[in-house]
Chains A and B, each alone.
Chain A
Amino acid sequence: MKKDSLKSEKIFQKTICFSGVIILLLLLGIFFTLLFSSLPSIKAFGLKFITGRKWDPVTGNFAAFPFLVGTLLTSFLALAISIPFSLSLALLLGEYSKGGVVSSFLTGMVELLAGIPSVIYGFWGLFILVPVIRFIELKLGLIPYGVGIFTASLILSVMIIPYSASLGKEVVNLVPRDLKEAAYSLGGTKFEVIKRVILPYARSGIFAGILLSLGRALGETMAVTMVIGNSHFLPGSIFSPSNTMASVIANEFTEAVDTLYLSSLIEIGLLLFLITTIVNIAGRYIINKVSVEVR
């Protein structure tokens, strides 16, 4: 009896330990699979893959610089648009009204917003937002593409607001109560407390939240693919059609027949994986550090 349960004990321990290891191996497997499958393209183009400007499947010349620019432009533009909104949400939920009807209403709305699938955002953007943007572009005297970097950034900013707002709220909540109350007891208004105490204290946490949202934005695929316009050239302005790294993979992966084409697309995937991983680890590291300090 006793031996039996000891044996089961061992099996149990091994099983849970093993499943943890599987996750570790899964991640390593993802990295090395991407690396090995993009070897042909790494060998053929080397560093030129990142700096070159021409992506031409017909002549077999692949370089990802336009997509890198497209990705960074859309993501940073989306971040810039979303920051005022997500910061307001974070302050409102974290400081102005904790609990109560307003905050539970807003929390519910934000959760719903987070739950809507990416393809729905893209579909809605394509049929509702694109005509609006086209109209604005006509009024401004620009070429009325409708699709393009700006449209993609708008959609993307709506998609990352829930994520950055909930992170921001957590960070604002971490500000010690005694600090805030000390400031209030000195006669500070709410605005002054936010400006002089909460924001400086939560600064690194907010920065980490922005980094994590950036990680989200960089890898977002469907909504961007549907409204960015699928162009292989270096974007001329923020209204021109472009492609992000994720959208070029989504558009061309099934068309890629020869090895070099496929491996170039996989190399873009590898770059995307590396960039998002670095951004995410940096963000997580800062967040963990901040919350440990507070405790």
Chain B
Amino acid sequence: MRDKTLFRIMQDRLFKSVVMSLAFLSTLPLLFILFYIFKNGISVINWKFLVNLPKPVGEISGGISNAIVGTSILVLISCIVSVPLGIASGIYLSEYRKSRLSYFVRLSVEVLQGVPSIVIGIIAYLWIVKPVGSFSALAGGIALGIMMLPVIVRSTEETLKLIPYYLKEASLALGVPYYRTILKVILPTGLSGIMTGILLGIARIAGETAPLLFTAFGNPFMNVNILKPVNSLPLLIFNYAMSPYADWQKIAWGASVVLVTMVLFLNLIAKMVAKKWKIVS
């Protein structure tokens, strides 16, 4: 009898240590990745790296300014495309929770979230690049916008669902029309949650490469015309990483540091926004 108890205790301890060690092991890749990226990339980064254009192989002090500008343009376009539509649909889903149409809309948001990024790239190619006849920042931005849309819809919906119903009732009881209640009472209350969603969405698309391969395409020069191809940080990393030149690979490491820092920083801000203006219900 005592042996059995001892056995059970040992079994429990053993299991716990296995779970613990496996869980901690799974964070090791993160440390490895961050370590190697910063080790290889940090030495490349200086002011010139951020403001210079890429140089041909063999010339030193090439930079990534065009990719930084390109990524900003792409993110801006995708926000213009997806933020208004996403928030409006989020309001729709939270206001009409039980209608048949909203069931299908919610389902399509979920499906859209799971569509592989490369397929979104094909779609943007077929919808925009092919009719217009050239790769463009516009096509890339729209592709990224489609990817960002489900994130914004869901965060808006989830946030608005959390807002206490008596806020809405109080506003309606004062005779405020329904649409003004939503726009002036409910939305401002949920602003932090929606902002978090937008920031997380940006963090997600800023690192996306696959939808840009045949939409934004990449460009070794500076470009701000949205109907022409632009470069972006992930595209630059991909192209330079796959190149056989050590100089370019070095630039890719540097660009990785910039991209990772940017994305992790966005995630951090999103978390802080969510924490600071949490809805108290």
- By a beta-carbon cutoff of 8 Å, the part of chain A in contact with chain B is 5, 8-9, 11-13, 15-17, 19-24, 26-27, 30, 33-34, 37, 84-86, 88-89, 91-93, 96, 106, 109-113, 115-124, 126-128, 158, 161, 165, 189-192, 194, 212, 215-216, 218-222, 226, 246, 249-250, 253-254, 265-266, 269, 272-273, 276-277, 279-281, 284
Is the Cβ of B29 less than 8 Å from the Cβ of A112?
no
A280 to B179, CA, bound (A): 35
CB proximity of B12 to chain A, nearest CB, Å: 4
Q: Which of B15, B104, B260 contacts A116 (CB 8 A)?
A: B260
Segment from B53-61, B120-128, B162-170 that makes contact with A = B120-128
- CB contacts under 8 Å to A, within B1-26, are 8-9, 11-12, 15-16, 18-20, 22-26
A212 to B105, CA, bound (A): 19
Q: Which of A84, A249, A266, A276 contacts B114 (CB 8 A)?
A: A276
**Which residues of chain A come closer than 8 Å to B84, judged between CB atoms?**
19
Could you list some 11 contacts between A and B, CB below 8 A?
A5-B180, A8-B177, A20-B89, A21-B105, A89-B26, A116-B260, A124-B32, A124-B36, A128-B36, A189-B11, A249-B122
**Which residues of chain A come closer than 8 Å to B182, judged between CB atoms?**
12
CB proximity of B1 to chain A, nearest CB, Å: 13
**Which residues of chain A come closer than 8 Å to B37, judged between CB atoms?**
120, 124
Q: Which of A30, A165, A194, A220 contacts B115 (CB 8 A)?
A: A30
Q: Say yes or no for B80: interface residue by CB 8 A criterion.
A: no
Interface residues in B, total, Cβ within 8 A = 87
Q: Say yes or no for B222: interface residue by CB 8 A criterion.
A: no
Q: Which of B112, B118, B126 contacts A33 (CB 8 A)?
A: B126
- CB contacts under 8 Å to A, within B198-241, are 203, 206-210, 213-214, 217, 234, 237-238, 241
For B213, give the chain A residue with the smallest CB separation. A250
Is the Cβ of B179 less than 8 Å from the Cβ of A12?
yes
Q: Say yes or no for B272: interface residue by CB 8 A criterion.
A: no
Q: Say yes or no for B139: interface residue by CB 8 A criterion.
A: no
Is the Cβ of B33 less than 8 Å from the Cβ of A277?
no
Question: How many residue pairs, one in A and one in B, have C-beta atoms under 8 Å apart?
Answer: 248
CB proximity of B185 to chain A, nearest CB, Å: 14
Is the Cβ of B22 less than 8 Å from the Cβ of A84?
yes
Q: Which of B16, B112, B125, B253 contacts A23 (CB 8 A)?
A: B112
**Which residues of chain B come closer than 8 Å to A212, judged between CB atoms?**
114
**Which residues of chain B come closer than 8 Å to A26, judged between CB atoms?**
108, 112, 146, 149
Q: Which of B104, B127, B206, B217 contacts A24 (CB 8 A)?
A: B104
- CB contacts under 8 Å to A, within B139-186, are 146, 149, 153, 177-180, 182-183
Q: Say yes or no for B93: interface residue by CB 8 A criterion.
A: yes
**Which residues of chain B come closer than 8 Å to A165, judged between CB atoms?**
26
Is the Cβ of A284 less than 8 Å from the Cβ of B110?
yes
Is the Cβ of B25 less than 8 Å from the Cβ of A253?
no
**Which residues of chain A come closer than 8 Å to B12, judged between CB atoms?**
189-192
CB proximity of B209 to chain A, nearest CB, Å: 4
Q: Say yes or no for B256: interface residue by CB 8 A criterion.
A: yes
Q: Say yes or no for B117: interface residue by CB 8 A criterion.
A: yes
Q: Say yes or no for B264: interface residue by CB 8 A criterion.
A: yes
For B249, give the chain A residue with the smallest CB separation. A127
Given contacts A8-B177, A19-B85, A92-B23, A116 and B263 within 8 Å (CB-CB) = yes
Given contacts A23-B89, A116-B30, A221 and B115 within 8 Å (CB-CB) = no
Is the Cβ of B26 less than 8 Å from the Cβ of A280?
no
A250 to B210, CA, bound (A): 7
